[in-house]
Amino acid sequence: MAISGLNPKALLLFLALLPQFTDPSGSWPAAVQIAALGGLHMLSCAVVYTGVGSGSRAILRTRPSAARAASRFSGIAMTLISLGLVAEQLLRLRLP
């Protein structure tokens, strides 16, 4: 969580989006409101990711064929993404 919290892109995203949901005339200072909204977002992400991880683990442990299919799918997806990135770089080298 510390690494993610120090990510400048994530900080900019929070600073760009969260002020829209604050009330300048509220009883809490804007910085406290933004911190509370950020904490709520982190908590909700933790709950969702924990649920997805637990569900995935349960499914993949009980169904080896699903685990193999997920492994194959992710391998193919990574290969296709890498080929796309290589093709993009080659096209950039060709264009003046």
What are the structural domain ranges in the chain?
Answer: 1-62, 64-96
Is 25 in a helix, a strand, or coil? coil
pTM of the complete model: 0.61
Structure tokens at 10: 């994530």
Q: Average pLDDT of 12-39?
A: 88
- Give the residue, 90 or 10, on which the prediction is more confident: 90
Q: Please choose, from the candidates 51, 50, 70, the residue with its C-alpha nearest in 3D space to the C-alpha of residue 60.
A: 70
Q: How confident is the model at residue 18 (pLDDT cuts 50, 70, 90)?
A: confident
Range 25-29 average pLDDT: 92
Distance separating alpha carbons of residues 38 and 77, to the nearest angstrom: 32
Percent of the chain exceeding pLDDT 70 equals 94
Q: Which residue has the tokens 């264009």?
A: 95
* Residue 75 confidence class, pLDDT cut points 50, 70, 90: very high
2 compared with 88, residue with greater pLDDT: 88
Instruction: Assess whether pLDDT exceeds 90 at residue 52.
Output: yes
Of 10 and 68, the one with more pLDDT: 68
